[in-house]
Chain A
Amino acid sequence: CGSKTSEQKNIQFSIPTDVASLDTTILTDQYSYDVAGNVEEGLTRVDSKGNAALALAKSIDVSKDGLTYTVTLKDNLKWSNGDKLTAKDFVYSWKRAVDPKTGSEYAYLMGAVSGANDIISGKSSLDTLGIKAESDTEFTVTLAQPTPYFKFLLSEPVYYPLDQKVVDKYGKQYGTSSDKTVYNGPFMFKSDKAWTGTNKNFSIYANPNYYDKSAVKSKQIDFQVISNANTGAQLYKQGKLDFTLLSTTDLINANKKTEGYTVFKQARTDYIEYNQSGKNASSPDAQKALANQDIRQALNLATNRAEVVKTALPGSTAATSFTPVGMSKTSTGEDFATYAKQDYSYDPTKAKELWAKGLKELGLTKLSLSLEAAGDLAPSEATANFLQTAYQQNLPGLTVNLKLVPFKQRLNDAQNGNFDMVLSGWGGDYAEPSTFLQLFTTGQSYNDGKFSSKTYDDAFKAATTTPDVLEPAKVDEHYKAAEAALYEGSYINPIDFQANPALMNPKITGLEFHSTGLAYDLKSAYIK
């Protein structure tokens, strides 16, 4: 409950899973990010309009060829322990992130910096990284390729600075509990109600050393880990919680009229991947079938996305491309997903035709395919259950074996290519289509279906390399061509653009939601 001594009520915030780490180089999951992003900060911070506004940086100058960034830091920046925050902290942190010994899963985001990819793969030494401290407050960054969205990348945790003294002191223990971490963001942890690494209740407090502390309106924000969404909704109704996510269809439908019902549109797409690697499918027939474009197209056409969304994921919208709506804008200011929209439609008649044609080509009369999904996530379980019956009814001769496994095993199986069809999800890291479209270039590690499309690769390459990379209109065109290639080849089956329905106290002001990166920015949030 809120402390009764202070006049202002603390925001009671909830997250559904435990915080895994506060080490900004290591953390990978959304909810660790939601906490860490409020106690740490990078050179930029995404503002309410969705622009990458300057944060720790006083200025960022970009050279004409888009390859050199000169960063000047704000004056008198300090860590929460009183240490000075200097350009060296960035050099140290970035080198730590790309060091293969650190094992940061998000190191690939640093690929934009010159030399990073070679260092990550162990081919060259740390010194070749394109970052150089000119003075305590100034450093230059050299990029491998012109990257128009680099300022967005700078707001990502893996680009945050680190206080070398503290990291060296705790070594592997850094970030495993709040007293083994140092802060530079709007908030910080204290020894009171600290995060021990496992506890379910902890608080963050306004950071007195923060450069923009006048903008921080809350003195204290309390976090609770509530894994059962029903409990969260109950506590919200009793006034003991100001924010809780609604995760099941029933809960969402039941709370649509509750005061404070809000839908946060995430930049997240759920999609089915087809195993086209030529191995590890459930049977040789399944292998052959999934390599057949007619079969894949039939499966795509037999997917009634609108009904799936209504049954399994209320609040979300049916997918019309792989890159979701509400994430990034084209050079003309249009939403990219609207601009790059493809004809992912539901057409059972055409699906049947193509299915029959595909089976004939393969010389089969019936086929069994497995559909794998995470059984511990309610929406994904419901989607899989729905699609199983829908596919079997729409496509004669098809048997769908449902494989509901724990989320972690789903990730594992997808990574190892151990599936026929798998229901996956991808969330954008920064507000630019490449955060999605880079996934399916040939050989990329998240291309679980292991397909290869030259049209797609060419379009993606053209969009991300010189000369076209510097011309926003052409970049949009190429990205659209990549989306078209995905659709034409039926390589994947986008199902929905996910949204997060939640209950949020209407009295909360200043909370900013971002569809990519830090989802809940609490910097200037407070209860009126």
Chain B
Amino acid sequence: MENLNKDFTLVGSKGSDSTEKIAKPALSFFQDAWRRFKKNKIALVAMWIIAITLVFSVISAFVVPQSKANYFNPNKSQVYGNLPPKLSGDLPFWNGDFKAPGSAEKTDVYKAQGVPEKDKYVFGTDKYGRSLAKRTVVGLRISLIIALAAALIDLVIGVTYGIISGWMGGKVDMVMQRIIEIIQSVPNLVVVTMLALLLGQGISSIIIAIGLFAWTGMARQVRNMVLSYKERDFVLASKTLGQSTWKIAVKHLLPNVSGVIVVQIMFDIPSMIMYEAVLSAINLGVKPPTSSLGTLINDGIASLQFYPFQLIIPAIVLSVLSLTFIFFGDGLRDAFDPRASED
């Protein structure tokens, strides 16, 4: 024993105090998540795009009100109708030259239709002569409003339902989960159609329609998390100390499942934006002449062969918006739950 101790000496151990010392600054859960999130460059870019889009949409409400986007001059729809995108006449492209349907060569459509020199449409116009740029801005805003409102419903109903179901367990849980299954098994397009008949077309009926179904996924996720967390020791400890159920739910369970909630919302939002587009495409969406990304795309499909820009522009906006939310959600998931990601 003595010989052995001679060969090996304990290094760095200078007393019990030093072993207790934490060298790194203590990071809270969210600080740690943010540190991990920053490493994911794509998610970071997505976050910035979302932030800019949100700010842009809020400001645009004052600059481009709906009435401006719906405006066209009924006496001059032949002059302003179906104009291609034009930024400036001096550019080699994006200059208003376009192969009009039926003609073999590219011509300056602006000149051909007699549009005054000063008028330019960055994204072109639709068949009535409405500016597609303004309509896309309004469409983006409306799609975002629908998505955020539906997300709020998702949050309130879904999270509450999930926590109650998971916490109560047993028979209550059984019944509540069966109710979710029933809701999920009803073809929601049928219900939405009936709802549109009942409430008429419009933003509010779309939000209600989406809100009716979208929360089920969230409720399931939260319930699963709560089921496992409620068996943990810290919950047992608070119970033993006499903490009320309500406080346990809000103070101990909610922070622990918040990661899942945020991620779930980020994945739900793009699907809600898409769902709005689908509803608009089958005439159940917003009331004309209001534009949403869905109605713009639907109108664009009809003229895809002839004026592709009328479809491509709103389609790109919709895709980019959905994609950024998905990347952002992906980044958040990795950040909140490091075990789920590779690193």
Is residue A499 within 8 Å, beta carbon to beta carbon, of the partner chain?
no
Q: Which residues of A contact B289 (CB under 8 A)?
A: 385, 388-389, 402
In the complex formed, the residue of A with least CB distance to B76 is: A307
Please, how many angstroms separate the alpha-carbon atoms of A401 and B72 in the complex?
A: 17
**A-B contact count, CB below 8 Å?**
64
Instruction: Determine the residue in chain A with the shortest Cβ distance to B67.
Output: A392
B residues 88-131 with Cβ under 8 Å of A?
A: 100-103, 127-128
Asked if B71 is at the interface (CB within 8 A of a chain A CB), the reply is: yes
Contact A378–B302 (Cβ < 8 Å): yes
Which A residues have a C-beta under 8 Å from some C-beta of B? 230, 248-251, 253-258, 304, 307, 310-311, 375, 378, 382, 385-386, 388-390, 393-394, 401-402, 404
CA–CA, A382 and B128, complex, Å:
9
- Give CA–CA (A254, B302) in the complex, Å: 13
Given contacts A248-B302, A311-B77, A378-B302, contact A404 B288 (CB under 8 A): yes
Contact: A389 with B302, CB < 8 Å?
A: no
Cβ-defined contact, A254 with B128, below 8 A: no
Q: A401-B287, A402-B288, A402-B289 are in contact. Are A253 and B101 (CB under 8 A)?
A: yes
Within the assembled complex, what's the spacing in Å between the Cα atoms of A230 and B77?
24
Given known A-B contacts A257-B102, A311-B127, A388-B288, A250 and B306 have beta carbons under 8 A apart: yes
Other A-B pairs beyond A250-B303, A389-B74, 5, CB < 8 Å: A248-B303, A385-B288, A386-B74, A389-B70, A404-B288
Question: Complex formed: what's the CA distance from A250 to B100 in Å?
Answer: 10
Secondary structure class of chain B's binding surface, majority of residues: loop
Residues from chain A with a CB closer than 8 A to the CB of B127 are 249-250, 311, 382
Neighbouring B residues of A404 by C-beta, 8 Å? 283, 288
B161 at the interface (CB under 8 A from A): no
A386–B77 touching, CB < 8 Å: yes
The 8 closest A-B pairs by CB, nearest first: A254-B101, A390-B74, A250-B306, A254-B102, A311-B77, A250-B303, A402-B288, A310-B78
Interface of A is mostly: helix
Write 12 A-B pairs (CB below 8 A) sorted by A numbering: A250-B127, A250-B306, A253-B100, A254-B102, A307-B78, A311-B77, A311-B81, A385-B288, A388-B288, A389-B71, A394-B74, A402-B288
**B307 close to A (CB within 8 Å):** yes
Q: CA–CA, A481 to B306, complex, Å?
A: 46
- Do the beta carbons of A304 and B287 come within 8 Å of each other? no
Distance to closest chain B CB from A481 (angstroms): 33
CA distance A184 to B45 in the complex (A): 74
Chain B contacts with A in 47-94, Cβ cutoff 8 A: 70-72, 74-75, 77-78, 81
Closest residue of A by beta carbon distance from B283: A375
List B residues at the A interface (Cβ < 8 Å).
70-72, 74-75, 77-78, 81, 100-103, 127-128, 283, 287-289, 302-303, 305-307
A13–B73 CA distance with the chains assembled, in angstroms = 40
Please give, as numbers and ranges, the residues of chain B lying within 8 Å of A388 by CB-CB distance.
Answer: 288-289
Query: Residues of A contacting B306 with CB < 8 Å?
Result: 250-251, 253-254
Question: Would A304 and B74 count as touching, CB distance under 8 A?
Answer: yes
Complex alpha-carbon distance, A304 and B307, angstroms: 25
Please give the distance in Å from B282's CB to the nearest CB on chain A.
10
In the complex, which residues of chain B have a beta carbon less than 8 angstroms from the beta carbon of A249? 127
> Given the complex, which residues of A lie within 8 Å of B287, measured CB to CB?
401-402
Chain A residues near B100: list those with CB within 8 A.
Answer: 253
| B283 and A311 contacting across the interface, CB-CB below 8 Å | no
Q: Chain A residues near B81 (CB, 8 Å)?
A: 311
**A400: nearest chain-B partner, CB-CB:** B289
Residues on A with C-beta less than 8 A from B288 are: 385, 388, 402, 404
Knowing A311-B127, A382-B127, A389-B289, the reply to whether A250 touches B302 (Cβ < 8 A) is yes
C-alpha spacing A43/B81, complex, angstroms: 50
Q: A378-B302, A389-B72 are in contact. Are A255 and B78 (CB under 8 A)?
A: no
Query: What residue of chain A has the Cβ atom nearest to residue B290's Cβ?
Result: A402
Task: Point out which of B70, B74, B77, B288 has the most chain A C-beta atoms below 10 A from its C-beta.
Answer: B74
Q: How far is the CA of A155 from the CA of B163 in the complex (A)?
A: 74
Among A230, A250, A253, A304, the residue within 8 A (CB) of B75 is: A304
**Residue in chain B with minimal CB distance to A402:** B288
**Are B305 and A250 touching (Cβ within 8 A)?**
yes
- For the complex formed, measure the closest distance between the CB of A348 and the CB atoms of chain B, giving whole angstroms: 8
Which of the residues A250, A378, A393 comes within 8 Å of B74, measured between beta carbons? A393
Q: State the CA gap A105–B53 with chains docked (Å).
A: 57
Give the shortest distance, in Å, between B75 (CB) and chain A (any CB). 6
Q: Do the beta carbons of A254 and B305 come within 8 Å of each other? A: yes
Contact residues in B for A254 (Cβ distance below 8 Å): 101-102, 305-306
Q: What's the least CB distance linking B137 to chain A, in Å? A: 18
When distances are taken between beta carbons in the complex, the residues of chain A under 8 Å from B75 are 304, 307
A307 and B305 form a contact (CB under 8 A): no
Residue of B nearest to A394 (CB): B74
Q: How far is the CA of A477 from the CA of B101 in the complex (A)?
A: 46
Given A248-B302, A375-B283, A402-B287: A311 and B307 within 8 A (CB)? no
Which residues of B are found within 8 Å of A257, using beta-carbon distances? Answer: 102-103
A385 / chain B contacts, CB cutoff of 8 Å: 128, 288-289
The CA of A464 and the CA of B120, in the complex, are separated in Å by 58
CB distance A307 to B77 under 8 Å?
yes
Q: Which residues of B contact A375 (CB under 8 A)?
A: 283
- How many angstroms from the CA of A388 to the CA of B74 in the assembled complex? 10
Task: Judge whether A255 and B102 touch: CB under 8 Å.
Answer: yes
In angstroms, how far is the closest chain A Cβ from the Cβ of B73?
8
> Contacts of B305 on A, CB cut-off 8 Å?
230, 250, 254
A390 to B78, CA, bound (A): 14
CA distance A375 to B283 in the complex (A): 8
Task: For B104, give the chain A residue with the smallest CB separation.
Answer: A257
Q: In the complex, how many angstroms separate the beta carbon of B115 from the nearest chain A beta carbon?
A: 16
